[in-house]
Structure 1
């Protein structure tokens, strides 16, 4: 590690600590402990361009441990994303600032997903990895790998404790998502103390059982070890990878390092001064960045721009050689084209006989999927009951990345996070499905759909007491009120074919609002 690398890493630490101290609240432990991981990843391994943050072939980075947001904000500032300024860092956790307490998608340039509920980012990363593999299968040609990148996600012990992570990574291993690289910030500390209080499992063995390659980094501050681990992860073309980085929470602060108190409170003036002195900074300077550090990040960006320029050249050649694929690419990324479904007479035509709205929905969904090739999705092991199988496509699997039918297994909360990740990736229109009563499992990630303003579609069947024989455990009653109470979340409970068709047309053409269709098992008359 060069002196400039070390100075740059410590600048990330000090900026993070300064912002948290000024805000009088926040989480310094993760930024201090993981600064080297973030630096190495963004510098040596991620293809990204701050001048084009929506570049289709960029590597994605999700901070699943969203409480450590100052790590991400410091990196975004130093790289020049969205002109995020020092003044913005000084407004950390303030109302209306570009640096809220947890990263918010669509609010701060460079943030790939809204995170905060631990484990959510893990599920969304799996969704992005699925989307990457599908888009690569659809668009790549020999000599033209225009979709050729990785999904990185960073989380800690809390993320690993959450059940959503096990659900999502179990599926990721089954699907062999080799472009997914998970960093585990293993510092053995949680808010209440040592993780031994409640978390003694062997995480490495768990992930091996999921079907992951597991790589251990003994020192999360050693750039060479991190570099070697990422290279090893990329070399495995059959499995996703877990990189376990042994870190020290609150690294660099003598009185806080390795303690629970480093997790979720400012260091305090005295400890902040000791941190700066320990890392070779002036304790009387705040939010200071050496010019040579800024220059270092500018030099890194120039190297990244060269990779970006090469891709742009490749993509231009691809479009010229394959005009039909260029047309398809534009269609996949055109969110306005779905509006024409409102003028489709066939879509709204029906047979005048009683029919369950779940059956109607299945017919309508298949009409949509035949018309728009980027519609895809699946169910939590209930596709035959939810009527969500697409007859025009095969199943997505490890051996068939082009399939549009997804088998999420009995994993409702992970399914929804994965759906969010697929929508965040871009170019795809995803749906997820389960019984309406199990929307209780879906709700936390549906709430994130609404907060992020991403138009994921939810198909909920077996509405109300109409499910009868299954009894009260399967009779959704209060769930309708719950979903309708979510701000920015649209709920349709259609009564016949026409209302179901309008609901699907609204859902598929929505640009920034998630939509739920609540559907019956029993037949209803056409009104």
Structure 2
């Protein structure tokens, strides 16, 4: 517990570790994101410098295994990197041909070199030395050639023998274990029982060489950087803001508002797109795109600027372009966003349908583990997407995503909630956030009038969206008869039910809960003010499985949701079929309160 050398390296835990890469394939895909981030950041800060002459030019090196190459996400990443001609990326493949079950020939026979050549990579081979060890001089020459190649990403297939030169372990799966480590120490003349033992001679020689080379390189870089600072005062100020992760002054005033009086409903995906464009005008560091769903996700903030190599003939091609066309590569998209975020100076976002967040999950989990400020745009978030049917209708996804520690899941109820919550996320880049957004149009609620709360309170994760006034207000504010907790597109259903219940003298409070994680982070006094502990008649309404809500509604509450897969039909038919309607919510509330339509509630 607490070791600086955990079994898998963790970013932020051990100095020098640049990403958390336990699951195979994540490292190479994240590295592609780092290379993308480097190209974008150079374009933001020093676009006119000749190639290789900017202090922001740098290269990403990757050491990967046979297992990394086999993972599907590496194929997505390799294809994208080759298409983008990411010449600032060098991969060294440790080609030892052994996995835990034995020879890799048990599972694969592909020609890795041909595969990467087909992707458009620069490919080199390094064979074994006559002794059976890695051919260090040949590897050095290959690395030099790879760093000269700037028009394509490079991969070096470095042949090795696993656990060389340990007898009984080399070239076998037995190399994966403590006994092989002990045997290796013995062969090398090191005490097998000593841990982390490095001789003073070896340590001194290695550190002296590193200091000499590093000091010289750092002095040269510092000189170039100071020259850039003097010549680019605006860039210097932008860099300081990006490093501090601050938004510019006046950012809050740029947030769009949507007029309820206009009577024009709007899907939250469209509201998010409008808000994202408004934010992008203020934040040049904000960039991204979708997995081939830009028009559906509304994630294209600049159609005239596409992240593509200078050699591309596509309209708007720009090596530092703002809109990323990732193709249908959701897993890679999420992993690359981690790499961009780890680069530290820009803010990535990526979109797809909520149901396809399943493809992204391994990388989303790592983003949460590393507390990266990645922004996921998940649209078409319920049975409300309609005729596409159960394959595309997310049911279990909200609960599943909320189960990831450190991930904020935001499902706004209307256009103004969408803008308010996006602004909060952009101002506070402390952890990953996923927005769950509707395909269908939703009512834009009045703000702070006629029983409605203020959308500004959405930053607390849960707030009173609507409450009918008490029948007798002479005694002052009183607890409601029933609390209806809803999210996203179901908030308008809850509000309609509350108005219906008011006709029966039932005072219903509608709590919009766009983000469980934010609400849970509030102090007990706030949470109890929104959902009074004395009110045990509670209903949750969400078009998905109800797993997220049992702790809030308690033993006396009821959940209205979708506990099975959806179907191909119109949104209206589906909501009626699954009983997610104002009538169903009102009927459930009456059962809890103990009245029939047109009758007054009994005392609690």
Report the equivalent of 1:344.
253
What does residue 159 of structure 1 align with?
Answer: 68
Structure possessing the higher radius of gyration over alpha carbons = 2
Choose which of 439, 446, 449 in structure 2 pairs with 1:521.
439
Q: 2:281 aligns with which of 355, 358, 370?
A: 370
Q: Which residue of 2 aligns with 1:240?
A: 153
- Residue 501 (structure 1) aligned with residue 411 (structure 2): no
Report the alpha carbon displacement of residue 295 of structure 1 after superposing the two structures with TM: 1.3
1:205 paired residue number:
114
Structure 1 distance, partners of 2:79, 2:64, is 17
The one of 69, 80, 86 equivalent to 1:171 is: 80
1:349 Cα shift? 4.8
* CA pair 424-350 structure 1, distance change in 2 beyond 3 A: farther
In structure 1, list runs of 5 or more residues that go unmatched. 1-94
Structure 2 residue 394 is the aligned partner of structure 1 residue 481? no
Instruction: Verify the 8 A CA contact 1:339 1:509 in the aligned structure 2.
Output: no
SS, match of residue 337 in structure 1: coil
Question: 1: CA distance between counterparts of 2:362 and 2:293?
Answer: 20
2:99 alignment partner, one of 180, 184, 190: 190
Correspondence for 1:103 = 9
Paired with 1:340 and 1:501, the residues of 2 have a C-alpha distance of 16
Alignment of 1:387-426 (within 5 A): 387-391=298-302, 394-399=305-310, 400-426=318-344
Distance between the aligned counterparts of 1:474 and 1:135, measured in 2?
A: 36
Q: In the TM superposition, what is the alpha-carbon distance from 1:285 to its structure 2 partner?
A: 5.2
Structure 1 stretches of at least 4 aligned residues deviating more than 6 Å after TM superposition: none
Separation in 2 of the partners of 1:105 and 1:192? 29
Segments of 5+ residues of structure 2 without an aligned counterpart are 311-317, 446-604
Alignment deviations for residues 129-165 of structure 1 (CA, whole Å, 9 cap, x no partner): 0111112223234375111211011111111111000
Contact 1:369 1:392 in 2 (8 A): no
Q: Is the 1:386–1:460 contact (alpha carbons within 8 Å) kept by the matching residues of 2?
A: yes
Contact 2:242–2:346 under 8 Å retained in 1:
yes
Match in the other structure for 1:267: 179
SS at match of 1:491: strand
Aligned to 1:142: 49
- Is 1:313 the counterpart of 2:223? The answer is yes
- Match in the other structure for 2:375: 457
State whether residues 254 and 278 of structure 2, in contact with CA within 8 Å, keep that contact through their aligned partners in structure 1.
no
Q: Aligned pair in 2 of structure 1 residues 339, 464: CA closer, same or farther (>3 Å)?
A: farther
Deviations 1:298-323 (A, max 9, x none): 21223202211221122112111221
**In structure 1, how many angstroms separate the alpha carbons of the residues matched to 2:192 and 2:333?**
47
TM-score of the two chains, using structure 2 as the length reference: 0.68
Question: Whose relative contact order is higher, 1 or 2, with alpha carbons under 8 Å and at least 6 apart?
Answer: 1
Q: What does residue 48 of structure 1 align with?
A: none
More helix by share: 1
- TM superposition shift of 1:330: 1.8
SS in 1 for 2:118: helix
Q: From the superposition, tell whether residues 345 and 412 of structure 1 become closer, same or farther in structure 2 (CA, over 3 Å).
A: closer
Counterpart in the other structure of 1:281: 190
Counterpart residue number, 1:92: none
TM-score normalised to structure 1 length = 0.78
Q: Is the 8 A contact 1:252 1:275 kept in 2?
A: yes
Equivalent runs, 1:320-335 vs 2, <5 Å: 320-335=230-245
How far off its partner does 1:367 sit? 0.3
Aligned residue number for residue 272 of structure 2: 361
Aligned length: 428
